[in-house]
Amino acid sequence: MPSHIPFKDSLKDFLVEVGELSYFTGRFFKEALKPPYEFGEFIRQSYFIGYNSLPLVGITGFIMGVVFTLQTRPTLEELGAVAWMPNMIGISIIREIGPVLTALICAGKIGSGIGAELGSMRVTEQIEAMEVSGTNPFKYLVVTRVLAATFTLPILVVLGDTVSVFGSFLVENMKGAVSFHLYFNKMFEALEFGDLMPATVKSFFFGLVIGLVGCYKGYNSDKGTEGVGRAANSAVVIASLLIFLVDFLAVVMADIFYEL
């Protein structure tokens, strides 16, 4: 019997965490819809989140496109289907790989940053000071950051997809002498509106998840520097898992929609 106690404790902690995160999410939507609106802080956070993530997203996207093409090209050459490379790259990156990989990168960059920042503010009692001064810290700190992450991530996904496809084109241009016009014509011929819409919509949900988890962990972090570290680390882990869950649900719902 004692061997089952740790499992029960873990299950209890998991359910408590789910309940608290759900309550935090409900409070976010309530505060986000209620005036006054911190529009200036939202713009500032959008700038910082987007600008600070641009280099990492761009470099990762470029390397992903290059490596993906280099790894796939030999197999397509053996099958005599190397002409399908632009079609395959466009569909796979824009529909699935690009949004998910960009979201995972941002979960590490943005989620940990928000968790550490709000955790430090909790440790140094800046959040309590805002409450005493009559400011609503939840609306100023949480709502603005979550909305900024939600609306910034789709832009980062578009950037990552673009750079990734361009990296793939460079490989094809060097190895197969494929022109810019031919490569992108073939790629866009393979893409449909049904490929772009689900990828764009789920990017908003990826940003919402990253912002919510990062703010939740930082806003409710334990006292001390150790608590700040745990908040940043757990924000990345939980956000990454939820990104895969959201992506799975998006794929299932898209399949159901296409069948209808």
The burial class, CB within 10 Å (0-12 / 13-18 / 19+), for 99 is: buried
Residue 14 lies in a domain: no
Match 């719902």 to its residue by tokens: 253
Is residue 75 a part of any domain in this protein? yes
User: Which class for 210: exposed (0-12), middle (13-18), buried (19 or more C-beta within 10 A)?
Assistant: buried
Q: Is residue 182 exposed (0-12), middle (13-18) or buried (19+ Cβ within 10 Å)?
A: middle
pLDDT tens profile 67-82: 999 988 888 888 887 8
pLDDT at 244: 94
Inside any domain, residue 19: no
At residue 46 the predicted structure's pLDDT band, cuts being 50, 70 and 90, is: very high
Of the listed ranges 107-116, 186-195, 196-205, 210-219, the least confidently predicted one is 186-195
> Is 183 inside any structural domain?
yes
Is residue 28 one of the residues assigned to a domain? Answer: no
**Worst-scoring range by mean pLDDT, 3-7, 14-18, 230-234, 252-256?**
3-7
**Host H or E run for residue 170:** helix 144-176
pLDDT in tens, 197-250: 888 889 999 999 999 999 999 888 877 777 888 888 888 999 999 999 999 998
Contacts of 18 (CB under 8 A, 6+ apart): none
Q: What is the mean pLDDT of residues 178-201?
A: 84
How many domains is the chain built from?
A: 1
| pLDDT, tens digit, 9 for 90 and up, residues 124-180 | 888 888 888 878 889 989 999 999 999 999 999 999 999 999 999 999 888 877 888
pTM over 0.85: yes
- pLDDT for 6: 67
Does residue 29 belong to any structural domain of this protein? no
- CB neighbourhood size of 36 (10 A): 7
| pLDDT tens sequence across 10-43 | 778 788 888 999 999 999 999 989 888 888 999 9
User: Can you tell me the mean pLDDT for 178-184?
Assistant: 86
For residue 197, give its domain range. 39-259
Query: With bands split at pLDDT 50, 70 and 90, how would you rate the model's confidence at 5?
Result: low
Structural domain contains residue 1: no
Asked if the model's pLDDT at residue 119 lies above 70, the reply is: yes
Residue 11 falls inside a structural domain: no
